[in-house]
Structure 1
């Protein structure tokens, strides 16, 4: 697969954002693998839950109610949540302090179980996430989709990015660029599309030494209606 040279993408982003310093100031670096490994299990579940609830609703609505979520769901500590009887979840889903939608509330015990199972084998969920190589970060996406609940599409990747995991994202501008350059063709959720995109990002990473997160942001700033 032939992809555009990263230097060309970078220079276009520089021109659009008003210079190197202006562009670099906009970039948000990813955490190191060691930092990712140290993220507590409860914060992974909290991030997954927040993104699940933000899907299809204004993100600010969820953020405004988030302290109530933290209180109602035991600060997303895995063991207390997994000990809850089935009837407790219906009661919690009816609490007016949160967004009352039982199917989304039920993702909490399901995703808590996924995190617990991985912790049994790897010591912590963060340690497991940290071992995924950049060249196959979409394998992590696929695991979340296949073993978690409502973590497919952009939901899982956005939660990972929120916590600082080094991953690219299919934002509107990034997807438009990938389609225009034929890196991405057809549905973006197919394994073929995911691996083709991951291969392109891995090549840009090898060429530039930059994180996948920075490359993703630079691509977004290099295209679309986002001039300085």
Structure 2
């Protein structure tokens, strides 16, 4: 059986594939600090969760272009305003030509507004909640979003967290393939056993490298799969 490599080996291979360490570093970004996360408004968080829900299974660039229309239709994604909307009002919003008309996803906005407000009542803001959540249990945060939010399972919640600046890895196809090839996971990706194994492996790599989870995630993905110099992921 193969075993996970030391992160230094993975990093060197990724650098070679991307044209050197400087080129690799130019492809990496850092997450927000805890202080920066605390500056996020609840509307920022609801907007990003909603955007990722609408982008799921759809062309991301189309959603991005229409997002100013979404902001208008949904009052800047202020959670309090969304919670005042009745089913009839939401159903009417779902037919507005300024947005991508999908009633199920529209109703998820209100559901997630409720989650955000409940968290904010306890922590002061959703950004403050994100800031205090430990990176060594980022899988636990994914689980929280899936359980208490709407349509935030799979990679949807993780991508939203990444865009908000919360440090997280993303289980891309390349990353999943690597983890399977070295025996970290086997069977269903979403099993509790595999989720814990993935978190444990990232915790080890973070101890070895001192990098953020998102930097590690990208480096591992860049070290394998079809993403050589000149190819965008």
Q: Once the 2 structures are TM-superposed, how far is the Cα of residue 97 of structure 1 from its aligned partner? A: 1.2
1:63 equivalent in alignment to 2:64: yes
Give aligned pairs, total: 227
* 1:206 match: 207
**Equivalent residue number for residue 83 of structure 1:** 84
Q: CA shift at 1:98, angstroms?
A: 0.7
The normalised TM-score by structure 2 is 0.95
Partner of 1:32: 33
User: Residue in 2 aligned with 1:53?
Assistant: 54
**Gap runs ≥5 in structure 1:** none
**C-alpha deviation, 1:3, in angstroms:** 2.9
Greater mean alpha carbon deviation, residues 213-222 or residues 78-87:
78-87
- Give the whole-Å Cα distance in 1 for the aligned partners of 2:56 and 2:141: 20
- Output the TM-score relative to the length of structure 1: 0.97
Map of 2:45 onto structure 1: 44
- Matched residue, 2:142: 141
User: What CA distance in whole angstroms lies between the structure 1 residues aligned with 2:146 and 2:228?
Assistant: 34
Alignment partner, residue 124 of structure 1: 125
1:186 alignment partner in structure 2:
187
Q: Which residue of 2 aligns with 1:223?
A: 224
Note the alpha carbon deviations across 1:1-24, whole angstroms, 9 max, x for none.
x63100010010011011110000
> Aligned to 1:154, what secondary structure does the other structure show?
helix
Q: Distance in 1 between matches of 2:168 and 2:224?
A: 19
* Aligned equivalents of 2:74, 2:220: Cα separation in 1: 38
